[in-house]
């Protein structure tokens, strides 16, 4: 098993000391950066290979919430370790792995890290468990009716808050199906999970615009933009033979 590369950030020295000790005790975990601010964490994320970021919420300059948005674009999973419980709902809506309250308990941090490891492993393998054979059409319940869409019509799916937005031809359709469920139903087609928040039909991609972070912005024939994280950009290049 490859080591999980972890960055952690907290502006309090004692909190960093505790996280450093707890993370060092976990098997198959490598701490690649320790940061005392959100700005330092963002800089490290943009230059280092990181799988998981453990972030405090309130820090000088960029907050943990600010950094988590950038981490998502880089394909980095996020765990919050904070004394502020009031941000939990917003954090989970943005797809964080876990929300651990201070003082951080060893068992609780272990659980959060293993949840993050499961997500990273699933992404690296490139397909969700128990994927069903594709049926050629996607069934989605819309306003009480079951709509059937041909796979070829679906351009991309994007997580927005608690719902997933589908671009199907000229329509925008919202569903409570998760991206993982959609990925499972669309297995074997031209779809690729290109971001923690996005699933993309490669048949609709016209070009890829490189980003300084190592990721891409995928531009569809319709002119819409879909983010491709740094980690998923590697898989995409392999898929395209680049």
pLDDT score recorded for residue 211: 87
Range 128-154 average pLDDT: 74
Domain match, 156 and 121 both: no
State which residues form the domain around 31. 4-125
Q: CATH code at 182?
A: 2.40.50.1020
* Overall domain count for the chain: 2
Nearest-angstrom CA–CA distance, 230 and 163: 24
Kindly state whether residue 92 falls inside one of the protein's structural domains: yes
Q: Are residues 196 and 90 in the same domain?
A: no
**Residues 154 and 52 reside in one and the same domain:** no
DSSP H or E run through 32:
strand 29-35
The pLDDT, as a whole number, for residue 188 is 65
Q: Do residues 10 and 110 both lie within one domain?
A: yes
CATH number at residue 102: 3.40.50.2300
User: With 50 as the cut, is the pLDDT of residue 120 above it?
Assistant: yes
Residue 75 lies in a domain: yes
Which whole number is the average pLDDT over 203-223?
90
* Highest mean pLDDT out of 64-73, 105-114, 133-142: 105-114
Distance CA 211, CA 187 (A): 28
Residue 131 lies in a domain: no
- Same domain? For 157 and 97 the reply is no
């Amino acid at each position: 098993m490859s080591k999980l590369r972890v960055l952690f950030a907290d502006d309090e020295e004692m909190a960093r000391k505790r996280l450093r000790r707890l993370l060092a005790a976990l098997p198959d975990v490598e701490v690649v950066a320790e940061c005392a601010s959100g700005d330092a964490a963002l800089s490290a994320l943009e230059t280092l290979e990181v799988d998981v970021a453990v972030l405090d919420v309130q820090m000088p300059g960029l907050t943990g919430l600010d950094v988590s948005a950038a981490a998502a674009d880089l394909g980095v999973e996020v765990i919050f370790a904070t004394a502020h419980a009031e941000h939990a709902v917003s954090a989970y809506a943005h797809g964080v792995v876990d929300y651990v309250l201070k003082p951080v308990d060893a068992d609780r941090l272990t659980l959060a890290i293993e949840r993050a490891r499961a997500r990273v492993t699933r992404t690296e393998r490139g397909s969700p468990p128990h994927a069903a054979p594709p049926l050629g059409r996607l069934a989605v319940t819309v306003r009480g009716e079951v709509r059937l869409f041909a796979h070829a019509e679906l351009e991309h799916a994007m997580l927005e808050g608690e719902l997933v937005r589908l671009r199907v031809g000229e329509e925008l359709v919202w569903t409570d199906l998760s991206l993982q469920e959609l990925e499972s139903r669309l297995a074997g087609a031209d779809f690729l999970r290109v971001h923690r928040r996005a699933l993309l039909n490669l048949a609709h991609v016209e070009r890829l615009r490189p980003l300084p972070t190592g990721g891409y912005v995928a531009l569809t024939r319709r002119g819409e933009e879909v983010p491709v994280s740094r980690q998923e950009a590697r898989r995409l290049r392999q898929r395209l033979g680049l």
